[in-house]
């Protein structure tokens, strides 16, 4: 996190942003943010991102030479999406207030986008329903701009891109009990509908409920999109990959949920 000049008193907006960045880092263990505006060489939707995207795409192609063009396009797209989606979910469900994510800038580390900056400003506080509605619209607008920019350096169709955006949000909703203990499965199903509706993605994936040993239950993602990782790692499917038979997928998701439960002691 960048240091501030203590000749000037911190405003309420500065304090709120610092708290949000600290919360995002704490609940995930990996989100690395700092307060501040856009920097040269960073990515921000709508800026002149041609060099950034061409460089990242070239690195992905070089890093995964055996994978085909569709994988490279998808990996570029999902790189751009993941931090804004995480920050939106954490803002609404953990922090309890929504910064203006349209000012988000992101940095690159080797083959991946990681690290971000946000300018200080008023944060929107309202009910979860109202914050989801606002955050969803902002995310979708950002995503539409990102997709147009991705298509200046490669080719990615709109439908699979939007399905992957839905998958990202569904994955976050499925993970909410880890970020905010006490979140019920009923809550998760309600949030699923609210987020997808707010982003104009209704019907693009959902959740399913699995029974765990001891009478507990867990909500898992039911995806429609595919990250195409199997093109880079042949014969290897993600646990929740929709290309698998549903019986196999659900068994793998159940085993993963049990392992996570054992690891956390939940």
Distance between CA atoms of residues 127 and 187, nearest Å? 14
Would you place residue 226 in the very low, low, confident or very high pLDDT band (cuts 50, 70, 90)? very high
- For the chain, the average pLDDT equals 94
Stated as kind and residue range, the H or E segment containing 170 is helix 158-179
Would you place residue 266 in the very low, low, confident or very high pLDDT band (cuts 50, 70, 90)? low
Token pair for 171: 């994955």
pLDDT tens sequence across 161-191: 999 999 999 999 999 999 999 999 999 999 9
Residue 260 pLDDT:
85
Residue of 138, 68, 55 whose CA lies nearest to 99: 138
Domain positions in the chain are 12-200
């Amino acid at each position: 996190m960048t240091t501030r000049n203590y000749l000037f008193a911190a405003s309420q907006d500065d304090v709120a942003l610092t708290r949000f960045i600290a919360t995002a880092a704490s609940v995930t263990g990996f989100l690395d943010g700092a307060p501040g505006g856009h920097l040269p060489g960073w990515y921000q939707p709508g800026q002149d991102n041609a060099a950034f995207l061409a460089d990242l795409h070239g690195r992905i192609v070089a890093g995964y030479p055996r994978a085909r063009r569709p994988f490279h396009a998808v990996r570029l797209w999902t790189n751009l999406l993941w931090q804004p989606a995480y920050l939106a979910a954490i803002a609404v469900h953990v922090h309890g207030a929504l910064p203006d994510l349209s000012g988000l800038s992101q940095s690159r580390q080797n083959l991946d986008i990681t690290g971000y900056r946000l300018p200080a400003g008023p944060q929107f506080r309202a009910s979860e329903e109202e914050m989801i509605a606002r955050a969803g619209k902002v995310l979708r607008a950002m995503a539409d701009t990102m997709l147009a920019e991705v298509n200046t350096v490669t080719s990615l169709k709109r439908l699979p891109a939007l399905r992957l955006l839905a998958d990202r949000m569904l994955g976050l909703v499925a993970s909410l009990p880890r970020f905010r203990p006490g979140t019920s499965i009923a809550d998760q199903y309600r949030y699923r509908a609210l987020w997808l509706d707010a982003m104009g993605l209704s019907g693009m994936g959902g959740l399913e409920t699995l029974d765990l040993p001891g009478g507990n239950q867990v909500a898992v993602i039911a995806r429609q999109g595919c990250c195409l990782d199997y093109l880079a790692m042949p014969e290897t499917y993600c646990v929740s990959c929709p290309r698998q038979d549903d019986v196999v997928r659900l068994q793998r998701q159940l085993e993963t949920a049990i392992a996570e439960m054992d690891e956390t002691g939940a």
